Structure 1
């Protein structure tokens, strides 16, 4: 699904160049749920942004479904819209939109006809246990409910790859467990690949594999726990 070959990333601040990733070589199979682990500053967010095609200013090669990524911004924008979904720690729901409208937005970007949108939205809201809250605005929902809507929005267009940044960090243990199980179940049913940056062992221990980063380098392909 994803393959990195000699992936490196530098940030330039004035005359100073700082390396965020150094010669990362890794592959992620279709349908895997991967946890990116490591302390702050280890390179997790940088690698996550590259996987999500949000940062194209890197050295090395990124392959998507066996094809080397074309860094053309227009091509990457289309790929993000059609093939990728995103889940954020702070939910990033549009406050003036209802739960239904937040989930609908990716389908509108992809020009899915309105009747098809309605059926798919209600199906996924039911799957995440939020069908009764379709017309509620985000400020009327708990944190766990908002994250369920965020997961529904990320998955509504059946993406090949979901990028998640600390999706359980702000949730209590019970709600975090529910969100993890929800992501696993829906992801498995659609063979969706997840790449998740996390410090949260409640998240990482349920992933298929963990990739630990330190100072921009991969320490090991499989580790028992994320570094807190």
Structure 2
């Protein structure tokens, strides 16, 4: 469903170039939930940003459902808006909007009618168990509830791929497990692929499988051990 081949990325640090990613390749199937794991500086956030088209300065090739990632910024922005969803560590909800309005926001940006926004946003809030909280603003919701709103927002426009950057880091372990299982179940149900960056090995166990990065490369020893 999403394929990335020989992805490399360098950063300039003073007079030196530092390799954040070094010829990383992989394939993730439709509806699969994959954890990107590794210590700080391993390259997982860099790979996540590249797969999410938030960073287009890289070498290598990426395709989504057989179509190559665009190089043009306008086409990239259109793909992000229509085919990608995002879940962040700090929720990134609009504080002056209700839960319903936050979930409906991507639909408004994509030109959906108010009727469609109401129907689709209400359906997603029901699926994440927050129908009764639809008129609550973020500051009246718990951390776990806010993240469930963020998951509904990421999925409401039926994207092919959802990028999740440390989505459970701000939650206690019990709530984190509930949230990660919710993402996994909804991804399987909707056929949406999730790529989740996490430093927490316990959360990785909730995913279908993991990709371990060390010093900008895939840790082949971890793959052999897992198999």
Q: Same fold (TM over 0.5)?
A: yes
Q: What corresponds to 2:138 in structure 1?
A: 138
Report whether the alignment pairs 1:222 with 2:199: no
Q: What corresponds to 1:208 in structure 2?
A: 208
Comparing 77-86 with 170-179, which one deviates more in the overlay?
170-179
Report whether the alignment pairs 1:150 with 2:150: yes
* Distance in structure 1 (CA, Å) of the matches to 2:39 and 2:98: 36
* Distance in structure 2 (CA, Å) of the matches to 1:92 and 1:33: 22
Instruction: Map 1:2-21 to 2 at 5 A.
Output: 2-21=2-21
Q: What corresponds to 2:126 in structure 1?
A: 126
Q: What corresponds to 1:27 in structure 2?
A: 27
* Distance in structure 2 (CA, Å) of the matches to 1:125 and 1:71: 34
Q: Deviations over 1:132-159 (max 9, x none)?
A: 1111111111101100101110111111
Q: Deviations over 1:57-98 (max 9, x none)?
A: 001111221222221111111101111000011101111111
* Distance in structure 1 (CA, Å) of the matches to 2:3 and 2:98: 37
Question: What RMSD over aligned residues (CA atoms) do the two structures have, in Å?
Answer: 1.4
* Distance in structure 1 (CA, Å) of the matches to 2:198 and 2:168: 8
* Distance in structure 2 (CA, Å) of the matches to 1:9 and 1:135: 43
Q: What corresponds to 1:176 in structure 2?
A: 176
* Distance in structure 1 (CA, Å) of the matches to 2:191 and 2:224: 23
Q: What corresponds to 1:65 in structure 2?
A: 65
* Distance in structure 2 (CA, Å) of the matches to 1:84 and 1:146: 20
The answer as to whether partners of 1:98 and 1:138 remain within 8 angstroms in 2 is: yes
Q: What corresponds to 1:51 in structure 2?
A: 51
* Distance in structure 2 (CA, Å) of the matches to 1:89 and 1:28: 22
- What 5-or-longer segments of structure 1 have no aligned partner? none
Q: What corresponds to 1:85 in structure 2?
A: 85
DSSP-derived class of the 1:24 partner: strand
Q: What corresponds to 1:101 in structure 2?
A: 101
Q: TM-score, with normalisation over the residues of structure 1?
A: 0.94
The answer as to whether partners of 2:177 and 2:206 remain within 8 angstroms in 1 is: no
* Distance in structure 2 (CA, Å) of the matches to 1:174 and 1:59: 39
Comparing 104-113 with 216-225, which one deviates more in the overlay?
216-225
Q: Which runs of 4+ in 1 moved over 6 A?
A: none
* Distance in structure 2 (CA, Å) of the matches to 1:224 and 1:208: 16
Q: What corresponds to 1:114 in structure 2?
A: 114
C-alpha displacement of 1:194: 0.5
DSSP-derived class of the 2:3 partner: strand
